[in-house]
């Protein structure tokens, strides 16, 4: 059977066919809009804050569906009136590819952004490192992320630029301090003094989750011996703990009369 | 029905058909121009300063629509006169692809530029870092951005070169100063003196939004102890505040007779 | 024979044909779902922990199969009613390519992730270096891997970012220590003392699998001679062993009255 | 109607048709040449110096139009004589793509060059940094740019290599001088002396547009204090001004008996 | 002739044709499997250890052949029943391309791996540098290579990551030692002493294949003269030989009372 | 009209048609060869030395034209005998693309090489920097360039590797010398002495085109003041002039009893 | 005329046609093999050593020709029996593209290798730098090059990795020596002494082709003056000549009682 058979093969019939095509297209468009709404709602039901973003997503999808359906219906109606449509389709294809290349980045942004959001990789307010920029997330968007750097700068990072991503706000952090003593000092005694002070600090600093412990001799420098101390703290407290450890452990060694680990040099005086 | 059925199948009929095609094409072109105007106006209604730019955009879109419609109509008319148009379409396709590759950068410029503008990522006069260049934005265009570097250079940056972007003119900035004291000095006393001077400076410097505060021992250098001071200032005032802090905190330590943190070296004289 | 021949060539016949197409498509879809289930189960029968992940995989494959079959059936039914479907297919092709480009990364993630899992390259809890990030694997997923860095950071690494991969938790590890002695010291004696202490340490440190042994003079520095000691330890114990070796070997040389390897300089005093 | 209907369906008719095709093609070619001339002239009416370049552009476009029209006419005439032209079109397509890939760079050169010229990004004689090369522009071409480096080298830079571009010859330039004083000197006094000398220099140096002003303490070095002075000069005069500032400000401090900012070192003599 | 002509043009005939197509496809599939077996066996007849790997290869090829033949037969049978198959083929094409992009890496792995194996570039147990990782090859696979680093790490390197490759286990190796003497020493005498000691060592070290020989003055340092000694050793012995040479040549110079090559500095004391 | 109508529709007729196709193809081939000869000659009429190279180019183009025409004629003749040629064309397309990818580099070499030659960017014997290699051009070819490095190495650089290009043999060169004086010296007097000696040297060195002139204080070092002298010399003489300037200006300062600009250090002796 | 017209339109006729196609294909295959043999022989007639390599090339080309002809004949025969071959061709196209992508590297290897060999860029035994690896060429192959590094490593370099290439074994080499003298020495006298010694060495060293000559003052260091000496030697002798020059010129200056160019430092003692 052929749709054309419904109507007499003349101008009136062609117009009738065109009207049918237009009606069906309008019907399909209405259904598509409903489906898009439901689909977007479904994916986002537990992300209340993202309303604005996904309104954008849903209206973007609807626009695309509308333009595509309009083009298909137009070509079919023109064909109904005997127009040779191959030139139109070819032109549309080339323009479509051109726009496609240009919009490729946009598609890539949206796809990547979608996964970052639904996989809960970052939340607003977390401290992250993304695409070489570190800072606190201010806004996560469909197309880009706004990250406030520590210095106050505002970074705009298109989602496509984000490959691997580091989130610094999940779980306890490590505090690591290297204490140097003079090369000729008594290493065993230094370790004892440091460990004793570490044990006292554990009581005084409530942010400490684990340690601090003296690991041992990390490096034999050219004029000093490096002793490493490690602790684990609550998230965000690692820098404060490190600063406190540095000050207190240095004082502990000073009180025990350890020599300062200045660079040493042996000099041979030669006569000219 | 077939359009050809309207006219007798001879030369006169073909010419009549061609005239109809030409008229319809002209009609479509006129409507397209109106739609483009409305679309561009709609997107840009609240960006008054961008008139020049979007006249360019609108006339560019109109040119493209005109050339495409002209080509489609030409091919259809030629086909009406029995010309085999597959060679023409194939040639047009290859040329179209060639131009498309060449113009790909242009499309990419326009798409990226469009988002930078509509998402309000930068405004003229803001201090930004874009594509490795820092400076004040002088002009934001459809195809490129002009950034005036601090040294006076004028950078022309095609929008496609812009991926991530840092805006330094949004919100308060951080002022960070590291003060070094000699390794053998009394760290606790130094911190007290510095914090006291910081408190005085908070009164004197109105650009300060928060702090300055002494964070603690940031680093144990080879001959010095580094103490970090942090403040938050109004945008653009961070450098002036840092300079003032450096001078005043150095003077505060000098007045308290702290030793200068020159490099130290322990010398062992050896006989030859 | 032609399917159309089964039904009279009119509207009723077309509708009947459409119903047959729809039924067959539904049948194919049901069978496809069964096959996908069996295939995914087969590949994953010995990976019990991955249930969640491969439910995702299986439902993803089913969605794709469903959409493709729906589209094919739709086009065939429309064609049955005399609709010219070339414009639809062309539009679908361009949209498909556009989505394909956008989803390319996703496909790449899944393929790479599939091989990393089935080839047992990493297990949860192992210490690895992936895509420039080091840490303990917290979760291996269909699309990304979560790695907990030593400092406590949580890295999200899309599988496509993983090319070569280093697993630090398979097999015994090497402990390597370089001990420096003063340039003028007796090298042979130093090697004897170090080797003797190494032999004693082999008894005391149960984590040692092989060695430690003195390899010899690794480098002649500007003021020192570098002697290299090598051991092999149980996995994860290499750093503790290195720290112990550093401390003990330094003490051994001190007890034998070896001079500290400070930088030396020969000075020529000149008169002005 | 069909063109073939005009002539009897035999060899004579085919030849007649071919002649008509050839005539029409020649007509189209003549019109195309006119249009290309007008288009190129229109775009370039206010760029008198570029005659040579755009003659090249116009004759290039005419050649391409000629070859394309010749190929289309040939295929149509061959088809008229019953030749199966699909193999010819396929071959032409592959060769066209091959040449297209090869000539892609050329197209890219011309497109980029076109925008650099029409947007007035560089003029002959300006000092620019393009694609990693700095120098004075000697020639701007359709395909490449010739830049004369400061050292006398001549750089040939294809336009496609130019992405972002820095023009050093637009507007006033910044002169920035860092003056170091000894760490123990009186900073406040030094700033006063420097600012006073700056004020005197403002009178003496007519190239100065703004400043010079003492900004303050830019850095606390290991043995010195860095004081930054900033001025704004006419274009091209920044280096001369910086040299003059360096000499005069150093002399000003010398006259005020400030100590030279040599590196300092504290020495602890130790007995062996 | 047409296959359809064999059967009456009705449903029974279509089913018969379909059965014939299915039988022929099954036949072709059986033959293909045999050919794949023979081909893989032929290429691998002298690589006994690779059985497991090439079973994988052969079953992979068989799967692909099976899926392709099944798809072709399906489309042909559907076409036999009057189904319009262009939508199916188009969908298959797009999905095929999508999978193809995803599997591109896999194909690349297999092709590269095939050449590495058949060209005998690496064997299990050899010490190699591949894609930036150095270590002993533990396993060479169809898709990746496992390399055990010197430190005990296990590197998984997909074959596609391997471009150039260095094998350290083929042939004799070079041992190169640079000996420094004080700038003021007698260079000629030093060279004589070193060469004499080299000649003695040639007798004592059986791993030496050629040399060691004193090449001459390699560099005039700021306080020393660098003399280069070169030897050629059995594979794997180069590091041991270098260590022995360093120790012995240093001792030889010490015994001849050569001054140690410490950094020298000329000091000019100035009065303030 | 249709070519087939000329001959009876049987085997003899088909053979006759095939002969006609073959003759026409041969004719087209002969004409093409003539056109290629003329085209290549025209482009190269004023480049006498390039005969060998462009014989290669011309015979390469003729080969390609021959193969293409042969393939087109073959397919047309086969079609004449009723062979279905779509499989042949498809195979040729895939092979053509495969070769095309492989030969892409070759096409790129020839296109780039063509422009480098016709734009007179380099001549044999000039000193250039191309693709990271510096040296004298020994041969410019259709596919690669041979550059003799200063050290005697011969670099083979495919033309496609050449993007931007620096020619050091066009025009006068700059000679730039930085003279350091001690920090405490009299800067004004030093500049006078240096300028006076520069004026004398202008008379003695005929290679000088402009200068030498003392620019002023280029840098304030940690123990010295850097004074910059600039001259412009004939091409290739810049290094000799710089060496002469260095020697003569140093002597001029020595004769005027300027202190040598050795590094200075202020020492603070501390008691332990 | 149509080939089918030769045979009755039934099963027997189809089989006959198929046999004819098979025979013609076999004929074409035999001719192709002969042509490939002749072509390969022609290109390689003066490269006797490359027999093995080009046997590989020739049998590779024959395999490809065989598979392509087999596929074309198969499709044509299947079409003869009324099979719809579009699905087969589409599948073959996709598989062909997939293999093509995988084999792209292989094609690229062969094309690049072909040019490296026929253009005589490297010979076995020459010392070259290829793709970042330096060494002596051990084997030049169709797919890769084996280069023996100086240290004894064997590098396998796929030809596609080779872009620019440096051959160190063609022509005379430069020997360049920099001699440092103390800053306060008499530069003119040093140049005279060095030039005199150079002239003597020219007699003693037969490997010298040109020079050695004293160029002049290359650099004014912080405590020394650098004088550059340049010579040109036979290929491979440059390092030996440089070593000899270094030793002899240093001795010449020593004999003339020139001061050693140790680093100098001016010391200002300050009281605390």
Say what the pLDDT of residue F110 is: 81
Percent of chain E with pLDDT over 90: 33
Mean pLDDT of the E80-92 span: 68
Nearest CA in chain C to A233: C152
Mutation target to probe the A interface, by most A beta carbons within 10 A, among B20, B72, B119, B161 is: B72
Mutation target to probe the F interface, by most F beta carbons within 10 A, among G266, G269, G270, G272 is: G266
Cis peptide bond prior to F212, omega within 30° of 0: yes
CA separation for the pair B74, D94 (Å, rounded): 26
* Domain-wise residue ranges, chain B: 3-118, 127-167, 173-255
Which stretches does DSSP call E strand in E11-76?
A: none
Mean pLDDT of the B71-90 span: 72
Do A101 and B103 lie within an 8 Å CB cutoff?
A: no
pLDDT band at C10 (very low <50, low <70, confident <90, very high): low
pLDDT band at A2 (very low <50, low <70, confident <90, very high): very low
Do G158 and E167 lie within an 8 Å CB cutoff?
A: no
Q: Please check the confidence at residue E6 and state whether its pLDDT lies above 70.
A: no
Range E29-46 burial, b when 16+ CB lie within 10 A, else e: beebbeebeeebeeebee
Give Cα G66 to chain centroid, integer Å. 32
CA distance F187 to chain D (A): 7
Say what the pLDDT of residue E109 is: 83
Check: CB of residue C1 under 8 Å from CB of residue E13.
yes
Mean pLDDT of the A166-184 span: 91
Mean pLDDT of the G220-240 span: 91
Do G173 and F152 lie within an 8 Å CB cutoff?
A: yes
State the residue for tokens 């450098």.
B239
Say what the pLDDT of residue A153 is: 92
Give contacts of G150 with chain E, Cβ < 8 Å.
Answer: 174
What interface predicted TM-score (ipTM) does this complex get?
0.79
Q: What is D3-118's CATH number?
A: 1.10.287.1260
Do C265 and A265 lie within an 8 Å CB cutoff?
A: yes
CA separation for the pair F216, F187 (Å, rounded): 9
C83, C262, C269 ranked by CB distance to A3: nearest:
C83
- What burial class does residue A270 get, using C-beta atoms within 10 Å of its C-beta: 0-12 exposed, 13-18 middle, 19+ buried? middle
Say what the pLDDT of residue B227 is: 94
B246 touches chain A (CB under 8 A): no
Helix segments in chain D, DSSP class H: 11-44, 51-80, 86-118, 187-204, 238-255
Per the document, the length of chain C is 272
Do G164 and F131 lie within an 8 Å CB cutoff?
A: yes
**What is chain D's mean pLDDT, rounded?**
82
User: In which order are the strands placed within the sheet that holds A224-233?
Assistant: A173-182, A224-233, A208-220
pLDDT band at C197 (very low <50, low <70, confident <90, very high): very high
Say what the pLDDT of residue B51 is: 61
Give contacts of F95 with chain G, Cβ < 8 Å.
Answer: 68
Do G265 and E270 lie within an 8 Å CB cutoff?
A: no
Mean pLDDT of the A54-80 span: 78
- What burial class does residue E14 get, using C-beta atoms within 10 Å of its C-beta: 0-12 exposed, 13-18 middle, 19+ buried? buried
Nearest CA in chain G to E107: G102
Say what the pLDDT of residue C22 is: 86
Do D166 and B151 lie within an 8 Å CB cutoff?
A: no
C136 touches chain E (CB under 8 A): no
Give contacts of D84 with chain F, Cβ < 8 Å.
Answer: 75-76, 79
CA distance A152 to chain B (A): 4
Mutation target to probe the G interface, by most G beta carbons within 10 A, among E164, E175, E263 is: E164
Question: Where is average pLDDT lowest: C204-218, F4-18, G120-134?
Answer: F4-18
E89, E171, E268 ranked by CB distance to G86: nearest:
E89
Percent of chain F with pLDDT over 70: 83
Fold of D173-255: Alpha-Beta Plaits (3.30.70)
CA separation for the pair F30, C255 (Å, rounded): 96
Nearest CA in chain E to G91: E68
CATH class as words, domain D127-167: mainly beta
Give Cα F258 to chain centroid, integer Å. 47
Of the segments B90-94, B147-151, F89-93, G110-114, which one has the largest average pLDDT value?
A: B147-151
D85, D168, D232 ranked by CB distance to B87: nearest:
D85
B269 touches chain D (CB under 8 A): yes
Q: Which two tokens stand for residue G113?
A: 């290798």
CA separation for the pair E188, E223 (Å, rounded): 17
Of the segments C139-148, D95-104, G83-92, which one has the largest average pLDDT value?
A: C139-148
Pseudo-torsion of CA B43, B44, B46, B50, nearest 10°?
Answer: 160
Secondary element (H or E) of residue E13: helix E11-43
CA separation for the pair C266, C259 (Å, rounded): 17
pLDDT band at G2 (very low <50, low <70, confident <90, very high): very low
Give contacts of D76 with chain F, Cβ < 8 Å.
Answer: none
pLDDT band at G11 (very low <50, low <70, confident <90, very high): low
pLDDT tens by residue, G127-138: 999 988 999 999
Give contacts of C194 with chain E, Cβ < 8 Å.
Answer: none
Chains with 3 or more CB pairs under 8 A to chain E:
C, G
Q: Which of D109, D86, D73, D98 is nearest to F61 (CA)?
A: D98
Q: Please check the confidence at residue G45 and state whether its pLDDT lies above 60.
A: no
**What is chain A's mean pLDDT, rounded?**
82
Mean pLDDT of the C24-43 span: 82
Do A68 and C80 lie within an 8 Å CB cutoff?
A: no
A43 touches chain C (CB under 8 A): no
Pairing of strands F133-140, D133-140: unpaired
Three-state DSSP class for G205?
coil
Q: Count Cβ atoms below 10 Å from residue G197 Cβ, excluding itself.
A: 22
Give contacts of E268 with chain G, Cβ < 8 Å.
Answer: 264-267
pLDDT tens by residue, C52-77: 666 767 777 788 788 878 877 887 78
CA distance A192 to chain C (A): 14
Q: Please check the confidence at residue D6 and state whether its pLDDT lies above 70.
A: no
Say what the pLDDT of residue E157 is: 92
Question: What is the model's pTM?
Answer: 0.84
Alpha-carbon Rg of chain F, whole angstroms?
34
């Amino acid at each position: 059977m052929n749709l054309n058979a419904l109507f007499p093969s003349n101008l009136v019939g062609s117009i009738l066919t065109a009207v049918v095509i237009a009606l069906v297209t309008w019907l399909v468009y209405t259904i598509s809009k409903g489906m898009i709404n439901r689909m977007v709602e479904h994916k986002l039901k537990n992300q209340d804050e993202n309303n604005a973003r996904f309104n954008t997503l849903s209206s973007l999808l609807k626009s695309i569906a509308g333009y595509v359906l309009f083009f298909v219906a137009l070509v079919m109606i023109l064909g109904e009136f005997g127009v040779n449509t191959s030139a139109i389709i070819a032109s549309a294809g080339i323009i479509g590819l051109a726009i496609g290349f240009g919009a490729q980045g946009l598609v890539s942004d949206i796809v990547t952004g979608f996964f970052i959001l639904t996989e809960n990789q970052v939340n607003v307010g977390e401290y992250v490192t993304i695409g070489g920029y570190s800072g606190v997330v201010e806004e996560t968007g469909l197309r880009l992320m706004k990250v406030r750097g520590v210095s106050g700068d505002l970074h705009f990072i298109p989602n496509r630029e984000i490959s691997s991503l580091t989130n610094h706000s999940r779980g306890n952090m490590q505090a690591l301090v290297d204490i140097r003593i003079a090369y000729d000092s008594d290493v065993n005694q230094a370790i004892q003094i440091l460990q004793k002070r570490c044990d006292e600090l554990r009581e005084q600093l409530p942010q400490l989750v684990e340690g601090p412990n003296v690991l041992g001799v990390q490096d034999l420098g050219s004029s000093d011996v490096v002793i490493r101390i490690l602790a684990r703290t609550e998230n965000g407290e690692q820098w404060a703990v490190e600063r406190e450890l540095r000050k207190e452990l240095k004082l502990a060694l000073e009180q025990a009369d350890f020599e300062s680990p200045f660079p040493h040099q042996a000099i041979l005086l030669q006569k000219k």
